[in-house]
Amino acid sequence: MLAICAFTSLKMNWGRYFPTSSSAWVEQAENIIWASIDQPSVPMLQALVLTILYHIEVGRPERAFMLAGVSARMAIALNIHNEQKDLEFIDREVRRRLAWTLSIVDGLFSRGLPEYEVFPCEIIYVQLPCRENIFNSEAFSETETLSASDSRRLEGGRQAMCIRLGVLRRDIMRLTRQLALTEHSLPQLESLVQNLDKNVLEIGSDISTTFPYSKANLIRMLDSRWLPRFIAIHLSLHQAYCDLYRIFLPGYREDAPVISLKSVGAEFSANAAAICYQHARATIQILSDLQEHCKAWRLFDSDLTVCAYHTSRLVLFLAQSSSLELPPSTTDALNGAKLCLSVIERFFPTSAFSRVIVEELETLIARRTAEASTGQLQPQESDESVAQNHRHLAVYSLVRQSRFFYEGLRHRSPSQTPGPSTVAEAAAVMTMSPVADVVPGSLDCPELGSGGR
């Protein structure tokens, strides 16, 4: 209860009513957890997860990171990653949701880097969460597992869809990171991307059938408690496409090495740029509709800020590159980026996690505005040295924000950076991408909903 009160007070911005209470509540909750650390329970683990999220939101990523490791140990001790068929439906469903929540929290730190993972989806052998109306009615329901084949796919809810998209985006990020470490040509790169595209298309088809997006549907959802999840699904889908195809944009911070780009045809690269722009525009349209019609403050998932951030970078880059036949004008790109920034500032006014994104976007928009006014446009992003020094971690990465990460950099030599030494090694890893006969989440090559470097 202490953890619930602390996190709710923080997210609802009730600090003005309880200026010191939320931090005291979280401290008390932690003390209770530590006092009974050798006697874990599901309620204790739930409180620990809320405590971790609290520390993330107030800007204590180091503490959140260390507690995440404890939560993973506690989850394994409770065996929540395996089905317990002797339990009642409601108890089983609570454990499933807790397991998947832990995997999502784990993704906030790892962002596709295996060395930071403590509770990856590969060790979770429970079905995805059921629909909310079924959960509330406590009626037994069978849903799909993450590895379900097309013939075994059952109708799940929005939360299950978010999980599927999050795992797929992590797999795409793993491919992106592996490419960055590859020093040789990769002839099968095009087919690898097409296989991932097939998975994104499959999930997109399910979303279009079950939870289609339109301005009219958004308006109908305005008074629903599930509006944030509805928005999260569609933003995550568009971001998955952008994550997958931005590697073919020469000069972009997440682009693949030149030698890898040479392994794909010019038509494929041009199509990749068009796909990026198509889905970036779709994201901007969703955020525009939200800004126009959602008058009340709502509690949205922090992945909204990640999607808005990458969309802003993408349109500003495409406006100055030669990747598109008909690129957006600089004015349109700046307007889109400013819209993304205004949405973040409106719905995440006090979040420490979002603050670094706001600062980065303000700097980027100011720089692009100055370049446009002088006519000295730079088609290449200027943060490449930062990306390299921080192992391709995005500005919002919780690991990058942590003090001990910089301590680690001072003691790490360049030779300690892992990576494939040959094309064969890289291909062997990347061919494990989740194609039709390989489950999402099995891509094991050196980011959850998301993510960028």
Dump pLDDT digits (tens) for 409-423: 555 544 444 444 333
Residue 49 confidence (pLDDT)? 95
- Mean pLDDT over 122-132 rounds to 89
- Mean pLDDT over 96-116 rounds to 89
Residue 77 confidence (pLDDT)? 97
Q: What is the pTM of this model?
A: 0.84
Q: Return the domain boundaries, the chain.
A: 1-139, 161-453
Q: Which residue has the tokens 């030149």?
A: 258
Residue 434 confidence (pLDDT)? 35
Other beta carbons less than 10 A from residue 176's beta carbon: 23
pLDDT tens per residue across span 24-63: 899 999 999 999 999 999 999 999 999 999 999 999 999 9
Q: Which residue has the tokens 């992590």?
A: 170
| 317 in Cβ contact with 252 (< 8 Å) | yes
Residue 450 confidence (pLDDT)? 36
What letter would DSSP give residue 413? -
Q: How far apart are CA 258 and CA 278, in angstroms?
A: 24
**Helices marked H in 181-265 — which ranges?**
189-210, 215-221, 227-245, 258-261
